[in-house]
């Protein structure tokens, strides 16, 4: 294992405290959750399902890594991808909205980004992620730029999505 992998793995405590907090809030509220993940590759779903009883609220996660999956599975519009790109606030919003529709969830969250070490483009550096939460009466997005290696960027992105979901649930 290389040093970067060790540091990223340390970031992911199991079961993750944020996943435990999201679990408690979702169980108490009776709301359901779905995800659309790109750069995290299913990591958020993995963290959520580490918690026993998550089947009471977690409906599923679409890992839409390719643009074709973003379009075909969660309904990201071709024009959004062409004009804004796969890593954009607009794509993240459409991913979350599409996951909410596809799963029939009360809440859906999404993440799309450039985990690295390659993939940067002008204006979109390695570590850039866009996350979004969609719920009735709430459309919340965030943009982050992490400076870790690939695994650390994935872990930080997963944690950011869990924090966003928790913030929404605590503010209801």
pLDDT tens per residue, range 103-157: 999 999 999 999 999 999 989 999 999 999 999 999 999 999 999 999 999 999 9
Q: Which range marks the domain in which residue 148 is found?
A: 3-171
- Rounded to a whole number of angstroms, the CA Rg of the chain reads 15
Interval 28-69: pLDDT, tens: 999 999 999 999 999 999 999 999 999 999 999 999 999 999
CATH number of the domain where residue 50 is located: 3.90.950.20
CA angle 112, 117, 67 (to 5 degrees): 35
Which residues, at least 6 apart from 85, have a Cβ–Cβ distance to it below 8 Å? Answer: 91, 121, 124
β-bridge pairing 33-37 and 107-113:
parallel
Q: How many domains does the chain have?
A: 1
- Is 0.75 topped by the overall pTM? yes
Say how far apart CA 119 and CA 116 lie, in whole Å.
6
């Amino acid at each position: 294992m290389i040093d970067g992998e060790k540091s990223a793995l340390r970031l992911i405590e199991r079961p993750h405290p944020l996943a435990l907090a999201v679990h408690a809030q979702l169980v108490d509220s009776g709301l359901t959750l779905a995800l659309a993940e790109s750069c995290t590759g299913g990591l958020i779903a993995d963290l959520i399902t580490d918690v026993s009883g998550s089947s009471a609220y977690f409906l599923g996660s679409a890992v839409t890594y390719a643009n074709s999956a973003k379009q075909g599975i969660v309904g990201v519009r071709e024009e959004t991808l062409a004009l804004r790109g796969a890593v954009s606030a607009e794509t993240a919003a459409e991913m979350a909205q599409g996951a909410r529709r596809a799963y029939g969830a009360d809440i859906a969250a999404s993440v799309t980004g450039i985990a690295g070490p390659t993939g940067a483009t002008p204006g979109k550096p390695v570590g850039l992620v866009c996350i979004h939460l969609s719920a009735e009466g709430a459309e919340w997005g965030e943009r982050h730029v992490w400076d870790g290696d690939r695994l650390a960027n994935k872990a930080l992105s997963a944690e950011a999505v869990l924090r966003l979901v928790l913030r929404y649930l605590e503010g209801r």
